[in-house]
Structure 1
């Protein structure tokens, strides 16, 4: 009997940190590598939010947005689901991440009715408080977050979880990321009715 190929699921991955060697960028890079190893129909694309201007409705002209915003909104609209790597700044999400979310939620809201997952790396609770705020934001913009598994990584625990370039090197953490990606994949297919 021939195996049935899994339908393609396009995942847009966004890091809430715009620092190139950030731990959260490292999580995104690791998820992309894991998706290639899985070879199960999930395709993860990193979308950079650093070119986005700060939200200013004066920049909306005759129902259009600045070029960087239009390109970002198109990537969000074309995706089946999203993976946020959300660092925690002052118990919440970062300003660049909130800005990106707000731009894509301008009419028409291109986030709506799709699956999402959150991973985070940081000190203390590993970015956990930012995840709760992101879930609250997601309610209003009609995102459907997976509930489990959760992924919070305390980067100050020994042994080191990342190398000097911000790449995830911890095998146990990679396995946990894989479980998040598989859960997101399954939930996205469920929401699509497949």
Structure 2
């Protein structure tokens, strides 16, 4: 049974280290895991109930909801902007939380990881993302974590997929998420 994992990256920057970390996750995914790196978070309008109308949801938001609904689990990659979660990732979580109680991530396993320049690797942003996605209905895997500090220097000349320590760590995250996603896929 294939486990479909939707990866959302909270940085839109072309050279984003979190994007590179997501690419590494795709490379090390265990057999039976299909990780889809979602493209298009930049196209989704800010959440507004006035435009979240059944049958008339903005196309970019509808695509995100469809992708999340088709996934067995989600893997969020977040940098830390001013001590918290980036707006683009929070906006995606807001769209996925609706309709209230039946959003596309309701009861789905969600892991949050990331890398940031600071000495703690974006822990605050990851904690905020876990809080938001849990309130939104996701089943947050509190024991599946990865915070990589010093991204600007650590990945200045090395892609995360070429860093043996990072590869082992992200492989462990994906393997554990895969296990939770297997349960979801079987349900």
Q: TM-score scaled to structure 1, two decimals?
A: 0.86
1:148–1:180 CA contact under 8 A, matched in 2: no
Corresponding residue SS for 2:45: coil
Which of 123, 129, 133 in structure 2 is aligned with 1:128? 123
- Is 1:43 the equivalent of 2:38? no
CA distance in 2, matches of 1:62, 1:135: 27
Of 58-67 and 102-111, the range deviating more from structure 2: 58-67
- Following superposition, the deviation at residue 70 of structure 1 comes to 0.8
C-alpha change, 1:153 and 1:59, in structure 2 (3 Å) is same
Name which of 133, 145, 152 aligns with 1:138: 133
Task: State the distance in 1 between where 2:53 and 2:184 align.
Answer: 34
Q: What SS does the aligned partner of 1:50 have?
A: helix
CA distance in 2, matches of 1:143, 1:67: 23
- Paired residues for 1:1-194 under 5 Å: 7-35=1-29, 38=30, 40-48=31-39, 49-107=41-99, 108-122=102-116, 123-156=118-151, 160-164=153-157, 167-168=159-160, 169-193=162-186
- Please identify runs of 4+ aligned residues in structure 1 that moved more than 6 A: none
Listed one character per residue, the Cα deviations across residues 87-131 of structure 1 (whole Å, up to 9, x for unaligned) are 111221110000111112121411100101111100221011111
RMSD over aligned CA atoms reads 1.9
Shift of 1:64: 2.6
* CA distance in structure 2 between the partners assigned to 1:73 and 1:55 by the alignment: 13
Instruction: Name which of structure 1's ranges 118-127 and 131-140 shifts more when overlaid on structure 2.
Output: 131-140
For normalisation by structure 2, the TM-score amounts to 0.89
Higher relative contact order (CA 8 A, sep 6+): 2
Paired residues, number: 182
